[in-house]
Amino acid sequence: MPTNKKVTMQEIANQVGVSKFAVSKALSGKSGISTATREKILTVASQYGYVKYKAKIDRAHQTQANPENKLVGILIPDIRSQNKESAYWGKIVEGISSNLEKRGVGTIIITNDSPQNFNLVIKPEGLMGIISVGLISTPMLEELRRLSIPFVLVDHEDELLASDSIFMNSFDSIRKLTKYLLGLGHTDIHFVGDIHYSRSFFDRWCGFKSAMDEQVSTYKTNQLLLHIKPSYNPDNYHSLLSELKQFQLSAAMFPTAFVCANDQIALHVADALKELNIRIPDECSITGFDNNDDITQYFPELTTINAEKEALGTKAVDLLLWRIMNPHMPYEKVLLQSQFIYRGSTQAAKTTKEVPTTT
């Protein structure tokens, strides 16, 4: 079937029996078509010698075959907080680097997720793939897909672009933690954390709400607490403090426990309760998520979920290398299980409890 004539996507579409739009999606690596259809399109495109597709296949084969091209990019755009010194992100990067080193694969750190800057400084043909850590812009992911560079997302997923991703199992972990608090007699429990900050935060909120809806018919959501970010911004902290003061002024019962989206937010809540003269855990229990060493050195009694940071990085490498060898398999979302760490910031709820008041 090879020909010297320039072949169009419409001719490939006619041969396979699909739309030109489906051919375009298959050749650009986009989702929205079945694996079987994608394989048929790619096979016909290869047989026709479709130049655009053939060039991508040739580059992919060259990257896999030539040891000098064994290079994986670690994309970390928020370098101010997501760096090797970070107790959370640093351990993820360490897991990635260690696994790649064992496999004889070199790495390059990329700290800017602008597609324009990426194309100025990086030679795409020299990359086996990309492992991104944390929040990555959609335009950057679209550019990686356009260049046919395999990528895996750690602790992030994009609603507009299907891809491989890896997370801690946030939903089940927070659901278990919330049930633990309910088992201690807590019923007036509130979730604290911006549920739109990341997919992980949203999953944690859903796990919390699932447990509460099952066992507490009178549960009411506090909307302001669902906008508290893991940020040191003074306005963020003052919003939290102001809302907790409102509980003191208007509620018949002050919340007996707070389930926080991560350890950073739990530290904010602890600081606010201390400012309001509310004792932890005698008057209020607190839980976090991550077991972040940067936080627990200030709040060592924090009950939390241990996010397996290095394991996230190690598994991301395994997933990327599998993807390179299986480019047409369905995308995967991998969830790692977490360990519940019981410490002194939680205890059984008192049977009767008055609203704490400031002095």
Greater confidence (355 vs 215) lies with 215
Residue 215 has pLDDT above 50, yes or no: yes
Mean pLDDT of 238-256: 86
The reported pLDDT for the residue numbered 65 is 42
The whole-angstrom separation of Cα 166 and Cα 164 is 7
The reported pLDDT for the residue numbered 40 is 78
Cβ neighbours around 146 below 10 Å, total: 14
The reported pLDDT for the residue numbered 18 is 86
pLDDT tens per residue across span 127-167: 899 999 988 889 999 999 988 899 999 999 998 889 999 99
Partner residues linked to 304 by β-bridges: 341
The reported pLDDT for the residue numbered 159 is 85
Q: How far is CA 270 from CA 113, 201, 275, 301, 341, in A?
A: 35, 19, 9, 11, 18
Q: 250 by DSSP, 3-state: which?
A: helix
pLDDT tens per residue across span 32-46: 667 677 777 877 777
Amino acid at 3: T
Mean pLDDT of 81-106: 80
Mean pLDDT of 182-204: 95
Q: Is 32 exposed, middle or buried (0-12, 13-18, 19+ CB in 10 A)?
A: exposed
The whole-angstrom separation of Cα 112 and Cα 76 is 7
Contacts with 111 (C-beta within 8 Å, 6 or more apart), sequence order: 76, 77, 79
Q: 228 by DSSP, 3-state: which?
A: coil
The reported pLDDT for the residue numbered 229 is 94
Average of per-residue pLDDT values in the chain = 85
The reported pLDDT for the residue numbered 32 is 66
Give kind and range of the element (H or E) at residue 134: none
Residue 81 has pLDDT above 70, yes or no: no
The reported pLDDT for the residue numbered 208 is 97
Amino acid at 164: D
The whole-angstrom separation of Cα 259 and Cα 229 is 14
The reported pLDDT for the residue numbered 62 is 46
Contacts with 279 (C-beta within 8 Å, 6 or more apart), sequence order: 273
Amino acid at 342: Y
Q: Model confidence at 11, in pLDDT bands (50, 70, 90)?
A: confident
Give kind and range of the element (H or E) at residue 100: helix 89-102
pLDDT tens per residue across span 16-31: 888 888 887 777 766 6
Q: Is 358 exposed, middle or buried (0-12, 13-18, 19+ CB in 10 A)?
A: exposed
CA torsion through residues 52, 58, 63, 68, sign? negative
Q: Model confidence at 83, in pLDDT bands (50, 70, 90)?
A: very low
Q: For the chain, which domains are there?
A: 9-63 (no CATH), 69-162+310-338 (3.40.50.2300), 170-303 (3.40.50.2300)
The reported pLDDT for the residue numbered 353 is 45
Among candidates 66, 35, 8, which has minimal Cα distance to 328? Answer: 35
The reported pLDDT for the residue numbered 19 is 85
Q: Model confidence at 359, in pLDDT bands (50, 70, 90)?
A: very low
